[in-house]
């Protein structure tokens, strides 16, 4: 996914608004998710409804990210980025104006649809504005700043929601969306759309079924599922352990800090040949699986250790997967590649909470997490088995 337009690293003033866009979607996703099941006004008490709300944001991204990624390739990523940020602000403002359970569902759906536009567009612009030789470090840095949103969202969101409820948090997100859109409009350069090579639906299906795409994307989905479940259901397990909204927000921030710290290092190690994608996946998935096991202990120590392990596993896998997909994608389709990678991540983000919520509604939350842990363990086995024939 290299491009001739990126002969050297772009100046920081052009890249920072793109990092801010990544921060925005992460802050919005987890800042609200960690508060939905807490004790605040407007919080959700049903595990099945909570799972549905957690999946709604990501479910919209699952359906729309590949479409917006392809649109970014055709008309340019910058207009899709700006339009998505403005739509995100409008969806956030919707719940501020109309405070009711039905409008909460509508606002989360709108936020997810908008994020599916600006998130892959920001990633594609980061890739186009930087040379291919720094691909691992580029995605690691983008992931780092996105993880800052995952860190501050639960922490600041928990404080704000505990004091005033959900509506002020949506108001903050509306202001943030507008601010980043203005910043990006002023600083991000206009890049011409890439040549649009003809591609049939069959061509796309074959590429998505290619093991070079399917294996890393499945690993990303599995790790993200663990992360999403830890974030969304932590308020429930936290209440059982006697933890409040601020404490659970801090625990999720531990998860995000661990994910943020690992991504730039993993990206640099990939660029310098010290780490391969397969080795990273075979290491990261067991870390996330162990983290789920610790989180089920429903004690502060288990919650914190589980958050740290899941964050470390996700932080190791994420930049390696994006770099691997970028390397295997035609140069004229960076937006489609990023959209497809993000598609896998959102499948995990939406599928993990739905799986756990469904099992938990019939049994207990511990059984739901056990079911997801079993799937992650299976993914680890498949990654190790696939690695052996090619010698790592």
Task: Look at 50-59, 100-109, 250-259 and tell me which has the smallest mean pLDDT.
Answer: 50-59
Tell me which residue of 356, 383, 342, 320 sits closest to 63, measured CA to CA.
342
In this predicted model, which residue has the larger pLDDT, 67 or 116? 116
How far apart are alpha carbons 274 and 20 in whole angstroms?
29
Angle at 351 between CA 346 and CA 354, to 5 degrees: 135
Residue 378: which residues within 8 A CB-CB, separation 6 or more? none
Q: In the structure encoding, which two tokens stand for residue 160, read together?
A: 């704000």
Say how far apart CA 346 and CA 220 lie, in whole Å.
9
Nearest CA to 339 out of 352, 349, 326, 328 is that of 326
* Residue 297 half-sphere exposure toward CB, CA atoms < 13 A: 14
Which residue, among 317, 322, 358, has the nearest Cα to 340 in the 3D structure? 322
Contact 277/327 with Cβ under 8 angstroms?
A: no
Return the percentage of the chain with pLDDT > 90, whole number. 15
Task: Name which of 250, 359, 251 is nearest 297 in CA terms.
Answer: 251
- Give how far the C-alpha of residue 200 lies from the chain's centroid of Cα atoms, to the nearest Å: 28
pLDDT more than 70, % of the chain: 74
Q: Which helix H or strand E contains 83, and what residues bound it? A: helix 77-97
Q: Is the pLDDT of residue 162 over 80?
A: no
Higher pLDDT, 298 or 129: 129
**8 A C-beta contact, residue 143 and residue 263:** yes
Tokens of 381: 């086995």
How is residue 125 written in tokens? 């612009």
* pLDDT, mean of residues 244-251: 69
Say yes or no to pLDDT of 239 above 80. no
Q: Please answer whether residues 104 and 319 qualify as being in contact, where contact means their C-beta atoms are separated by less than 8 angstroms.
A: no
DSSP-derived 3-state class of residue 37: coil
Calculate the average pLDDT of the chain: 78
Q: Which of 144-153, 176-185, 263-272 has the lowest mean pLDDT?
A: 144-153
pLDDT in tens, 284-309: 999 999 988 887 776 777 878 888 89
pLDDT at 20: 94
Cβ atoms of 379 and 222 within 8 Å: the answer is yes
d(CA 215, CA 327): 14
DSSP character at residue 189: P
SS3 (DSSP) at 17: helix
Q: Is 50 exceeded by the pLDDT of residue 200?
A: no
Q: Please write the tens of the pLDDT for every residue from 104-120.
A: 888 888 998 999 899 88
Answer yes or no: is pLDDT of 94 > 80: yes
CA atoms within 13 A on the CB side of 339: 26
pLDDT digits (tens, 9 = 90+) for 362-388: 888 888 888 888 888 887 777 666 554
pLDDT band at 5 (very low <50, low <70, confident <90, very high): very low
pLDDT of residue 41 exceeding 60: no
In 129-210, where does DSSP find H-type helix?
A: 135-164, 166-187, 201-209
Res 33 pLDDT > 80:
no
pLDDT given for residue 228 in this prediction: 80
Instruction: pLDDT band for 253, please (50, 70, 90 cuts).
Output: confident
């Amino acid at each position: 996914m290299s491009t001739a337009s990126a002969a050297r690293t772009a100046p920081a003033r052009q890249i920072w608004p793109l990092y801010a866009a990544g921060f925005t979607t992460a802050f919005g996703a987890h800042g609200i998710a960690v508060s939905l099941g807490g004790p605040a006004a407007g919080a959700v008490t049903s595990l099945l409804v909570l799972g549905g709300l957690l999946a709604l944001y990501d479910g919209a991204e699952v359906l729309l990210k590949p479409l917006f990624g392809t649109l970014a390739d055709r008309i340019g990523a910058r207009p899709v980025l700006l339009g998505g940020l403005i739509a995100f602000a409008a969806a956030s403002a919707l719940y501020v104006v109309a405070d009711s359970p039905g409008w909460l569902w509508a606002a989360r759906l709108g936020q997810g649809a908008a994020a599916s536009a600006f998130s892959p567009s920001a990633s594609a612009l980061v890739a186009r504005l930087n040379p291919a030789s720094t691909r691992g470090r580029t995605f690691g840095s983008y992931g780092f700043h996105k993880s800052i949103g995952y860190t501050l969202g639960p922490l600041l969101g928990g404080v704000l929601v505990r004091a005033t409820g959900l509506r002020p948090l949506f108001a903050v997100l509306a202001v943030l969306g507008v601010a980043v859109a203005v910043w990006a409009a002023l600083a991000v350069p206009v890049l011409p759309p890439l040549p649009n090579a003809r591609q049939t639906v069959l061509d796309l299906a074959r590429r998505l079924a290619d093991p070079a795409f399917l294996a890393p994307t499945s690993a990303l989905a599995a790790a993200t599922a663990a992360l999403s479940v830890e974030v969304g259901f932590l308020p429930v397990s936290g209440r059982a352990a006697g933890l409040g909204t601020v404490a659970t927000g801090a625990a999720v921030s531990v998860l995000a800090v661990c994910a943020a710290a690992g991504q730039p290092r993993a990206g640099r190690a990939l660029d310098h040949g010290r780490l391969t994608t397969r080795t990273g996946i075979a290491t990261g998935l067991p870390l996330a699986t162990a983290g789920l096991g610790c989180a089920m202990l429903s004690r502060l120590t288990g919650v914190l250790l589980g958050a740290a392990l899941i964050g470390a596993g996700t932080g190791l896998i994420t930049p390696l997967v994006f770099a691997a997909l970028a390397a295997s994608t035609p140069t004229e389709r960076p937006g489609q590649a990023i959209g497809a990678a993000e598609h896998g991540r959102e499948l995990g983000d939406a599928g993990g909470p739905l799986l756990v919520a469904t099992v938990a509604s019939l049994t207990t939350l511990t059984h739901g997490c056990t079911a997801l842990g079993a799937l992650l363990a299976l993914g680890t086995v498949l990654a190790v088995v696939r690695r052996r024939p090619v010698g790592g």
